[in-house]
Amino acid sequence: MTIHREGRTLLFFLLIFFTLLNLAVGNYLPDFEKVRLFTLITSGILFLLVLQFFRNPIFKIVQNDKQVLAPADGKVVVIEETEETEYLKERRKQISIFMSPVNVHVNRMPVEGAISYYKYHPGKYLVAWHPKSSTENERTTVVAKMKNGTEILFRQIAGAVARRIRCYVSEGQKLDQGQEFGFIKFGSRVDVFLPMDAKITVKVGDVTKGGRTVLAELE
């Protein structure tokens, strides 16, 4: 387990702030033991909450070009057939994963492939499970083209709390299955658009682990 680079600067300044806060309370309120204890416990809990959000687990990724891995930790909230209108412009099976603030927020490649399309869209901040969040919220769209020519589209979607999406890819870049491609801060959603002949291996309500849970099997 490591701390993700997106959180290191924030955690450093939080540590300094909470340390100075506790020193100030101790110096200016030396006779108020309960106040000093409350400040110490509260700041410790808040720091640990932020710390756990930026955790980055280390594990072995089992790669398989016939499988689509979950791009994020979270819970499956949508499985449906839909029309993908931005890039693929065809009917696809959509799987949506909701990421709560307590989930690991590292995003990982669901398949191995070269990035054939990438676009950032500014937008609204509807709650991540809202049906229109996929097309109206701030989001990034990424398409990976596999060796056999199959393209898998996936989107990072901001929510009511998550207002900073980070995506590290560029068009033409080649990435391995399970490799980190982005990060979303404080709750969000990731949509994956699969071919119609893909065999879905999860159901609504299932808990996913990024880079480990198999979402679907490809023909």
Distance CA 119, CA 136 (A): 14
CA-based nearest residue to 198, from 67, 96, 10: 67
Exposed / middle / buried, residue 217 (Cβ in 10 Å: 0-12, 13-18, 19+): middle
- Catalytic entry in 43, 96, 133, 188: 188
Distance CA 152, CA 11 (A): 35
Helix (H, G, I), strand (E, B) or coil at 214: strand
Residue type (1 letter), 121 = H
CA-based nearest residue to 194, from 66, 91, 106, 74: 91
Residue type (1 letter), 62 = V
Clarify whether 133 is annotated catalytic.
no
Active site residues: 188
